[in-house]
Each structure stands twice: as structure tokens, then as C-alpha cells.
Chains A and B, each alone.
Chain A
Amino acid sequence: SQQGEEDPQALSIQEGENATMNCSYKTSINNLQWYRQNSGRGLVHLILIRSNEREKHSGRLRVTLDTSKKSSSLLITASRAADTASYFCATDITGGFKTIFGAGTRLFVKA
């Protein structure tokens, strides 16, 4: 079963707008990661946030983590057509060895 649930499932925005995606999870985690996947390709790691961190930035990406609510959000600012992809959150479970991916958000950025 998948640990992470993401919303929205799909998001369509204009170039230049911000895109926000949310992820919720069920069990305690060591860290939470966000990955991007272009259609039919491998996943690319975007950012990792540790369970003792609340916010992290990387370029146009901002990730927040609220462990009390078991949720995370990914904000992409000033979106570009090249940001069109599926975005997945992934959690490493405390005491476990495996990474579980959420259902993903499909982002479409219109030029």
C-alpha cells in the first residue's frame, strides 16, 4: 500500500504562476523527498527534507514539512513550461529500509 497521498492529482497553470502540491503520509518518517518524472522517464531527485526540519529551499523550490500533521508541501515558484512533469513525494519509514512513493501530482504548465 502507498504511504503518501498527494493532492491535487493534476494541476494546470500558466507559465510564471506558482504551483503548490501537497503530500500526506501515515507513519513516522526519517525524511521526505520530492522527485520529478518526465513522461515515461526515470525519476529525478529534487529535494530532501529531514524529519527535524520544517522548511527547505532549493532554487525555485520550497518544501515544508509538518510532522504533527504528517504532511508536506512543494512550492514551485515562477513556473516554466519545462516544469511540466509528474511530481512524487517519497517517504523513508522510521525503522524501515524502504522508500514509499505517493500517488503523484501531474503538473502541466502552459506557455
Chain B
Amino acid sequence: DTEVTQTPKHLVMGMTNKKSLKCEQHMGHRAMYWYKQKAKKPPELMFVYSYEKLSINESVPSRFSPECPNSSLLNLHLHALQPEDSALYLCASSQPWREVYNEQFFGPGTRLTVL
């Protein structure tokens, strides 16, 4: 299985809502990533987990809260988002950077709209 799955595919939420994005992989990868991508822009790194521990937080606002419950799952909890947070949220996985060269496998993304 060389697939990264993400749910939901689309999400519309109000600024007072709490929602979660989910990402799953069964490739035995021990590094997982969240990216944010605005239209016609490159992906921007948000968080990196290595061996289920948060290793990089790119100064992301606290209204985004990542969680890695086990080596296969990665969640992104959303609370009190702003309309400018509307974007495509991409999850990726790879072997940890220090072990092998860092080819990342991406999920199809969740298209988030904040009203």
C-alpha cells in the first residue's frame, strides 16, 4: 500500500466551529507532514512529526493543533479559523529525514473553506 489517504475531501466550516482533518498511511513511514497550499502557490510546511513527536512547527497559529496518535495517523484539529485559512491542506509521509533521502508521498488533500 503506497497510498496516503485524507478525510474529508472537502470541508466547509464557520469561524466558531471545531473540526478535524485526518491523514493515514500504511507504508511504515515514521515522518508525517502537514502543508497548507493556497491557489497557484507552492505548498507551505506547517508541521512535521518524526517518530510520533512534533519536530517542526513553522510558527503556525494556535488555532491549528496537530496530533499524531500513532505512527500511521496524523490529525489536524481546527478551531476558530479565519476566512484566510481557506486553502488546500495536504498531508505527506516519508521515512525520517536522517535515515534516508526524503521522498515524500502526498495525500490528495482536504479543500477547506472557512466562512
Contact = CB atoms under 8 A, between A and B. Distances in A.
Interface of A: 2, 30-31, 33, 35, 40-45, 48, 50, 88, 92, 97-104, 106
B38 to A, nearest CB: 12
Nearest to A93: B97
A97 B107 CA distance: 20
A42 B102 CA distance: 17
B111 A40 contact: yes
Contacts of B83: none
Contact of A97 (B48, B88, B105, B108): B48
Interface residues of B, number: 27
A26 to B, nearest CB: 15
B90 A97 contact: no
B103 A45 contact: yes
Tell me the dominant secondary structure on chain A's binding face. strand
A60 B105 CA distance: 21
28 contacts: A30-B101, A33-B102, A33-B103, A40-B109, A40-B111, A41-B109, A42-B4, A42-B90, A43-B43, A43-B90, A43-B104, A43-B106, A44-B106, A45-B103, A45-B104, A48-B101, A50-B101, A92-B97, A92-B101, A97-B48, A97-B50, A97-B56, A97-B97, A99-B45, A99-B102, A99-B104, A101-B42, A103-B42
Contacts of A88: 42-43
B55 interface: yes
Given A43-B90, A45-B104, A101 B43 contact: yes
Nearest to B97: A97
Given A30-B101, A43-B90, A88-B42, A98 B56 contact: yes
Nearest to B106: A42
B41 to A, nearest CB: 8
B106 A97 contact: no
A31 B102 contact: yes
B28 to A, nearest CB: 17
